[in-house]
Amino acid sequence: MEALGLCRPGEAGALVEEGATEPEGELPVNVSGGSLGMGDLLDANGLARALEAVLQLRGEAGPRQIEDVEVGLVQSWRGVPTTSGAVAVLAN
Hey, where are the domains in the chain? 31-91
Question: Which parts of the chain sit beneath pLDDT 50?
Answer: none
Distance CA 82, CA 86 (A): 13
- ω into 9 cis (within 30 of 0): no
pLDDT at site 41: 72
Write the pLDDT tens digit of every residue in 33-58: 877 777 777 777 888 889 999 999 99
User: Given phi > 0 = left and psi -120 to 50 = alpha, else beta, which region is 68?
Assistant: left
Task: Tell me the whole-structure pTM to 2 decimals.
Answer: 0.81
